[in-house]
Structure 1
Amino acid sequence: MAEKIEKIVAEGVDDEPVSGTQRQYRGGMLIAIGLFAAVYAAFHMAALNGLSIRSWTGVNLPYLPRFPMETWNFRIVHVAGALLLGFLTFAATRLDDGNAPGRVRPNPILRALAWLLLLPALFSLGAAAWFGTLIDGGVMWNGIDATLRWREVWLFGTPLLVATLGAIVVSWLERTPADAVSVADLVLGICAVSVATYLVVMYGTLMRNSTGTPFAPIGISLAAVAGTILILELTRRVAGMALVIISVIFLIYVFVGRYLPGFLNAPAISWQRFFSQVYTDAGILGPTTAVSSTYIILFIIFAAFLQASKVGDYFVNFAFAVAGRARGGPAKVSIFASGLMGMINGTSAGNVVATGSLTIPLMKKVGYTKRMAGAVEAAASTGGQIMPPIMGAGAFIMAEITGIPYTEIAVAAIIPAVLYFACVYMMVDFEAAKLGMRGLRREELPKLPEMLRKVFLFLPIVILIAALFAGYSVIRAGTLATMSAAVVSWLTPFRMGPKQIFRAFESAGIMSIQIIVVCACAGIIVGVISLTGVGARFSNLLLGLAQHSQLLALFFAMCIAILLGMGMPTTAAYAVAASVVAPGLVNLGIPQLTAHFFVFYFAVLSAITPPVALASYAAAGISGANPIETSVTSFKVGIAAFVVPFMFFYSSGLLMQGEWIDIVHVAFTALLGIYLLAASVQGWLFGHLHMALRVLVGAAALAMISGGWISDVIGLGVAALVFVIQRGILSGRRSAPGAE
């Protein structure tokens, strides 16, 4: 009887995974949340492109908003919208079958308390709006007038904090159905709107110039306290406790730093002064929110449009058609597909869930262990964060912080990304060779000619790259790419009409919640660093270490960057590490681009670095392997990325800096060095390597990686010696399987 062959076709890769805390509304509430999410995303697209509602309506009414909005107000609305949408979408505790309709018996006391807390929340919102009418009426608001202080404390701040803290506690204790609105969460959303209303109202007075001084209205500090608490709570819901714990430690440091010794000692800062500044462009509304409110949300919309046209499924099927028949084929497919998907979606763990659900079982099918299958997917998905041109939004934050043009950053990332993915590819290829694996059969795979006929699905990304290098702004290029994704969809069965475009904006609004609130939370840490001066003192510490050894200083910076990034999404990890570590590296004399790429790489690699490796843990959940073992293996698979940043320091040509002859030289020798490094780690080079030969090959790899002509010659010589020895030993009966 002929064996039944099941054809591999990727489906559902574009579907956004549902978080365990995400509510599943039905009926009218589903429509309302979807409408709000779509309007929220579309509002950003309109504002970023400088559109005017007046131009749409032809009506000149004074209350219609003008685009682009004032920068500060735009960021305040950006954060507040994400908080409101986030609290209505994500529950305080994990939702499971126990939260199904009919299984939950609401606690009447908690429900009544939640309704009661709605009153102070609405009262604070009304007070904030009332303050706006007083200011418009000519009242000069400041932090000195006793009457104004009394109004802010008792009519705005106290009700706001009571509602915020009370609703958070109730939401922790309350159990609600997964498809029902939690009144406590509604209260928290109103509190977020109240904070935004007050800050927007105060912007026209002394807010920008008076923060951190006695003239700052006390309400700014009270609003910032409530806003900070709301950001931390929503971060806990959507991103876990790691970033929250780190943020709280930094917040505690503000007030205990005066008692700490050495470089950790900080000046005394009152709570009023600190919080009057932390919700400004020195903190929450600073670089991280600047990027999330512009580039990041724009590319989330772009990703949502690509998902609507099922481009993700095509990426994976194309990868299977190209690489599926190679030995260990599914692992190589994982590298290709996860790199493309991870570049766009901006989260290592999320990318693992999206593509790993298909590639990990297939890797196990062809012979990879559960541990190795999960590790390859984790390493490949993490690599997507360093893949130009999008780089998981990290490039945009780097451009915002450093002032270096985005296109220069994208170009500089090309060679390091090639080195990383080449190393992962070689690692899986050597593993497949050691185990004698074969690829998948032709009959199991999508047909390459069919995939090539749909190659136009790459067109939006091609347009994005072409527009960027043609000199268009990132916003204009992203908008053109988004529009082209809708146009390209008309050549597929998944045509985007008005309904599908609405769904794409809706999906983008929901997808943006996590990254926006994570960036806002990272802004808290950035604010602490800038306001306490701990970053400058850390720079001095690195300078002290560098007097003994620059390599030691770099190693210390690497450890700090990884430590700060553990358990955090990539964007937040880099933003925090860039504030703490990068200035110190620049003070060592390292060029700014090199220093920030050094920090960025290790912040990204925290996703596969034991013991806290989010991408590896997500992969282990799919493969069924031990999470710690998977993280150790993914660390080994991605070992090149831990070497590449040190190569930046010794060979700036790897970042496209310098003469072309030097760039080509260091790129070629570094690639050869990465090949030898993979061979040393896996113990395979034209056959099995004995331990002594593995050591020699590892030494040759490090010599090739350093980038000097002399070291390259030494490395080539050692590699040639190992080749001669190996081919001399492995002859006749002693020849290893696969040596030929």
Structure 2
Amino acid sequence: MTQSTDHQAPDTIAQGVDEEAVESNRRLYTGWQWILFATLAIAYAGFHLVTLNMLPMETWSYRIVHICGALILGFGLYTGARFAEAEAPSSRPWLAGLGYLLLLPAAYALLQVWLMQRELAGGAMRIDAAVEAWHFGYPLMLATFATIVLSWFQRQHRERLASADLALMVCAVASAAYLLLIYNTPMRMSTGTAFAPPGIAYAAIAGSALILELTRRVAGLALVIISALFLAYVFAGPYLPGFLGYPGLSVQRFFSQVYTDAGILGPTTAVSSTYIILFIIFAAFLQASKVGDYFVNFAFAAAGRARGGPAKVSIFASGLMGMINGTSAGNVVSTGSLTIPLMKKVGYPGKSAGAIEAAASTGGQIMPPIMGAGAFIMAEITGIPYTEIAVAALIPAILYFASVYFMVDFEAARKGMQGMRKEEIPQFRRLVKQVYLFAPIVILIAALFMGYSVIRAGTLATASAAVVSWLSPYKMGPRAILKALQLAGTMSIQIIAVCACAGLIVGVISLTGVGARFSSLLLGLAGVSQLLALFFAMCISILLGMGMPTTAAYAVAASVVAPGLINIGIQPLVAHFFVFYFAVVSAITPPVALASYAAAGISGANAMGTSVTSFKVGLAAFIVPFMFFYSPALLMEGSWLQILRVGVTATLGIVLLAAAVQAWFFGPVKAWQRLLMLVGALCMIYGGIYTDIAGLAIGALLFLMQRGSHGGGTKAATSG
């Protein structure tokens, strides 16, 4: 892109927003290996498009293939140990040799599945248990666990595949092949009973271990540790006192059932294998057509000249991008690399710049219609229609972004910040000519509300992204479409691993009944105080979400916390939104705030300081969920008059809340006025008619006082 001279506005300021971020532990292949894994990624994404739209598979079989494909791609693309330096040699040769040696039991287990299939096809009713154990189960377990450990030590150059990871790929195929074989026979009905073939447990143990290892590689240790604690609970539960104790499950019985729709193949994988994978493909097509660059440039043109302009750009751009990409930290990296340095340039301290980007990126996860895939998981778990959830999310999302906006605006006014100069930002009239690039999102929303299924609407939107690109400089031909499918296959690995891992936790919760015992605990607390029960539910939701991607955080919290809230009399929609909000904001909640830490890495500020500031900027997200309970009209429950009144007064309350936090309204605010503002804000956010009147009276009083004492408002307060 060229930039205009002679002090004219540039055509564009954002470039590279759509560039694929390459993680530090991801391999960068060349030659035939690049062609092989690019082909696998394209085939994986294409398989989902074809299966979802034209050639449906049996549900369990489809989900097993979905997870197996992610495991194969994941172990091929992500290393289990640090890479060897370019000049340094790889790990000791005997480690590589051991990896190839472990290929033998993995391949032997896979061969046995083929022999079992022939035996069953020949009329056998079931396979001999000793054969399953000695010829399939034990070799598979040996290969899986020994190779996982080996992969932690085998350091290879970045462009080469480690032998241990090749063995893990074969283990993934062997485990999935056995489950596909057995689940397509009447033996599928025996899962969870004493009559289940022992091979199911062996395949499930190996499959679970592989999922945990891939999750460690792509999402860190937090989710793996939480999963390990839940798995430990399965076998330690009988020895625990109080409400945590339960009769216990044998290894065979638990694992023969956890790799079914009661666990790993349950709601989380149901969503990742349909809606999430489809919207990852959609996002990849948007990236390929450079729509992300356009979103950010459009935001600069619309808000760049306002005071603290880059911060307001961050809010708009990150909201748009975060809605689609489904990960707060990933969104911070993609848009924050541009907005954070510009925020620092106009006067924001490093920690404020990082905090604003983290809060805005996190807000994208609660922005309808896509809500970072959270809406689809909620629809799957609750049975509430997706469109109803998307509509219900509208007012809370407006409140959140209004809160972040006014926090930013008042801080800019207090510090006397200016916006960007006219010649520094793209011309709005030029960008308006390309407004058609919003068409894929408009088509998606329109199709959903016209009654099309989510899959059909998502496919239409993806196709429209390719068509719309033909009107832009970044036309998508066959090569670009293949590149987008390759990108989608690669991007999907993390979220699929995370959803499968969350499914393991969900399986523990459903099979041990710990969720029901947690519900009884909440019921007991509600007998003392419903507010206390809600506060406890908030703490658990945030705790479960710490260090986890949004999708997994919500899935786990929805299994543990939401049923308890429903049992104390809260409507299902309200209960799930309450849990969803706190699972999302765990990304900006100290001490483990992934989005804030990612932003701090870009801004160069202290990570903990950034997370505390982002907590302050996103404060509304910690208050609004309590209002769902006290005022369901915030979720579009009630008459239009009620919804309008609550929406307007809650927004005014959010403005007062931001003013109280930033100590600025139409000028500096004294300590006693801040306290009064906080009271007024809470009154209006609460949503009762009398509290609304009291809040409006406080707001009007403070407005008149400020206008009087600051002579109609300072120049700083009224600019931008």
The TM-score normalised by the length of structure 1 is 0.95
Deviation sequence 1:367-418 (CA, Å, 0-9, x none): 0000000000000000000001110001110010001111111111111101
1:73 equivalent in alignment to 2:61: yes
State the percentage of identical aligned residues. 67
Per the alignment, residue 56 of structure 1 pairs with none
Amino acid at match of 2:320: L
Shift of residue 133, structure 1, vs aligned partner: 1.1
| Aligned-partner SS, 2:528 | coil
> Residues 429-480 of structure 1: CA distance to partner in whole angstroms, max 9, x if unpaired?
0000000001001101111111000000000000000000001000000000
1:20 alignment partner, one of 21, 24, 41:
24
- Give the aligned residue type for 1:19: E
Partner of 2:200: 220
* Displacement of 1:736: 7.1
Kindly provide the amino acid, as one letter, of the partner of residue 125 in structure 1.
Answer: L
Q: Could you tell me how far 1:174 is from its partner in structure 2?
A: 0.9
Structure 1 position 295 matched with structure 2 position 281: no
Q: Is the 8 A contact 1:656 1:663 kept in 2?
A: yes
**Structure 1 unaligned spans of 5+:** 52-66, 143-147
Query: Does the alignment pair 1:33 with 2:37?
Result: yes
1: CA distance, partners of 2:621 / 2:258: 35
Check whether the contact 1:302–1:478 (CA below 8 A) recurs between aligned residues: yes
- Within the candidate set 45, 49, 59, 1:45 is matched to 49
Aligned position for 2:80: 92
Amino acid at match of 1:74: Y
Q: 2:14 aligns with which of 6, 10, 16?
A: 10
Q: Structure 2 CA distance, aligned partners of 1:87 and 1:72? A: 23
| Offset from partner CA, 1:341-391 (integer Å, 9 cap, x none) | 000000000000000000000000000000000000000000000001110
Q: Distance in 1 between matches of 2:220 and 2:569?
A: 37
Q: What residue is the counterpart of 2:529 in the other structure? A: 549
Cα shift at 1:588: 1.1
- 2:224 counterpart letter in structure 1: V
Asked whether 1:385 is paired with 2:365, we answer yes
Q: Does 1:637 align with 2:622?
A: no
Does the 8 A contact of 2:352 with 2:613 survive in 1? yes
Say yes or no: does 1:682 pair with 2:662: yes
The answer on whether the counterparts of 1:38 and 1:505 sit within 8 Å (CA) in structure 2 is: yes
Instruction: Give the TM-score normalised by structure 2.
Output: 0.97
Q: For residues 328-348 of structure 1, what are the alpha-carbon distances to aligned partners after superposition, in whole Å with 9 as ceiling and x for unaligned?
A: 000000000000000000000
Asked if 1 retains the 8 angstrom alpha-carbon contact of 2:311 and 2:343, the reply is yes
Per-residue CA distance 1:213-239 (angstroms, 9 max, x = gap): 111000000111000100000000000
In the other structure, the counterpart of 1:55 is: none
Residue 16 of structure 1 and its aligned partner are, at CA, apart by: 1.7
The whole-number CA distance in structure 1 between the counterparts of 2:145 and 2:494 is: 21
1:127 lines up with 2:107 in the alignment: no
- 2: CA distance, partners of 1:99 / 1:404: 52
Q: How does 1:374-453 map to 2 (within 5 A)?
A: 374-453=354-433
Task: State the AA in 1 paired with 2:136.
Answer: F
Question: Cα offset for 1:141?
Answer: 1.4
Residues 9 and 422, structure 2, Cα contact 8 Å, conserved in 1 = no
Partner of 2:90: 105
Deviations, residues 235-260 of structure 1 (Å, cap 9, x unaligned): 00000000000000000000001111
Q: Shift in Å at residue 730 of structure 1?
A: 4.6
**Aligned counterpart for 1:315 among listed residues 269, 288, 295:** 295
In structure 2, give the amino acid aligned to 1:39.
A
8 Å CA contact retained: 2:628, 2:634: yes
**Is 1:648 matched up with 2:628?**
yes
C-alpha contact (below 8 Å) 2:413/2:717 kept by paired residues: no
The residue type equivalent to 1:325 in the other structure is R
1:718 Cα shift?
1.6
Question: Structure 1: which 4+ aligned runs deviate by more than 2 Å?
Answer: 2-8, 102-106, 204-208, 720-732, 735-740
Residue 6 of structure 1: CA displacement?
A: 9.4
For the aligned residue pairs, the C-alpha RMSD in angstroms reads: 1.5
Whole-angstrom CA distance in 2 between matches of 1:348 and 1:130: 46
Q: Is the 8 A contact 1:412 1:654 kept in 2?
A: yes
> In the alignment, which of 113, 130, 145 is matched to residue 150 of structure 1?
130
For residues 519 and 69 of structure 1, the distance between their equivalents in structure 2, rounded to whole angstroms, comes to 20
1:249 partnered with 2:249: no
Within the candidate set 498, 512, 518, 1:538 is matched to: 518
Alpha-carbon distance in 2 for matches of 1:726, 1:396: 45
Q: Secondary structure at the match of 2:37?
A: helix
Correspondence for 1:201 among 174, 177, 181: 181
Q: Is the 8 A contact 2:542 2:585 kept in 1?
A: yes
In the TM superposition, residue 739 of structure 1 has moved relative to its aligned partner by 5.6
Cα distance between partner residues in 2 of 1:266 and 1:289: 27
Report the CA distance between 1:482 and its aligned residue: 0.4
CA displacement, residues 278-297 of structure 1 (integer Å, 9 cap, x when unaligned) = 10000000000000000000
Matched letter for residue 132 of structure 2:
E
Please, which of 659, 681, 699 is the counterpart of residue 701 of structure 1? 681
Distance 1:497 1:134 in 2: 48
- The one-letter amino acid of 2:600's match is A
Partner Cα distance (1:679, 1:670) in 2: 14
Secondary structure class of the residue paired with 1:306:
helix
- The answer (yes or no) to whether the contact 1:140–1:205 under 8 Å persists in 2 is no
**Aligned match of 1:280 in 260, 277, 287?**
260
Residue 54 of structure 1 corresponds to which residue in structure 2?
A: none
Looking at structure 2, the residues matched to 124 and 475 of structure 1 have their Cα atoms a distance apart, in angstroms, of 36
Separation in 1, partners of 2:6, 2:602 = 28
2:314 and 2:94 map into 1 onto residues whose CA distance is: 51
Change (3 A) 1:349 1:439: same
What is the Cα deviation at residue 536 of structure 1? 0.5
Q: Which residue of the partner structure matches residue 118 of structure 1?
A: 103
What is the CA–CA distance in structure 2 between the aligned matches of 1:207 and 1:85, rounded to whole Å? 30
Show the counterpart of 1:369: 349
Q: Which one-letter code corresponds to 1:111 in the other structure?
A: A
Query: C-alpha separation between the residues in 2 aligned to 1:288 and 1:105?
Result: 38
Q: Distance in 2 between matches of 1:5 and 1:246?
A: 54
Give yes or no for contact 2:406–2:658 (8 Å, CA) kept in 1: yes
Task: Read off the aligned partner of 1:440 and give its amino acid letter.
Answer: M
Does structure 2 conserve the Cα–Cα contact (< 8 Å) formed by 1:416 and 1:644?
A: yes
Q: Distance in 2 between matches of 1:315 and 1:425?
A: 18
Q: Matched residues in 2 for 1:410 and 1:723: separation?
A: 35
Q: 2-side partners of 1:520 and 1:397: how far apart? A: 13
Q: Which residue of 2 aligns with 1:625?
A: 605
Unpaired runs of at least 5, structure 2: none
Matches of 2:468 and 2:247 in 1, distance apart?
Answer: 57
Q: Hey, what's the Cα distance between the residues in 2 that align with 1:695 and 1:94?
A: 52
SS in 2 for 1:99: coil
Q: What letter corresponds to residue 102 of structure 2 in structure 1?
A: L
* Alignment-mate amino acid for residue 455 of structure 2: I
What is the alpha-carbon distance in structure 2 between the residues aligned to residue 442 and residue 492 of structure 1? 25
Give 2:211's aligned amino acid. I
> Which SS does the other structure have where 1:426 is aligned?
helix
CA distance in 1, matches of 2:307, 2:567: 47
Paired AA for residue 99 in structure 1: E
Q: Secondary structure at the match of 1:338?
A: helix
Shift of 1:720: 2.2
Q: Where in structure 2 are the equivalents of 1:140-179 lying within 5 Å?
A: 140-141=125-126, 148-179=128-159
Letter matched to residue 133 of structure 1: R
What is the DSSP-based 3-state SS (H/G/I as helix, E as strand, rest coil) of the residue aligned with 2:564?
Answer: helix
Report the Cα distance in structure 2 between the residues aligned to 1:551 and 1:31, rounded to whole angstroms: 57
Tell me if the contact between 1:338 and 1:352 (Cα under 8 Å) persists in the aligned partners.
Answer: yes
Provide the rounded CA distance (Å) in 2 between the counterparts of 1:505 and 1:496. Answer: 12
- Superposed displacement of residue 99, structure 1: 3.2
Does the residue aligned with 1:173 lie in a helix, a strand or coil? coil
2:103–2:143 contact (8 Å) kept in structure 1: yes
Partner of 1:64: none
- Aligned pairs for 1:515-594 within 5 A: 515-594=495-574
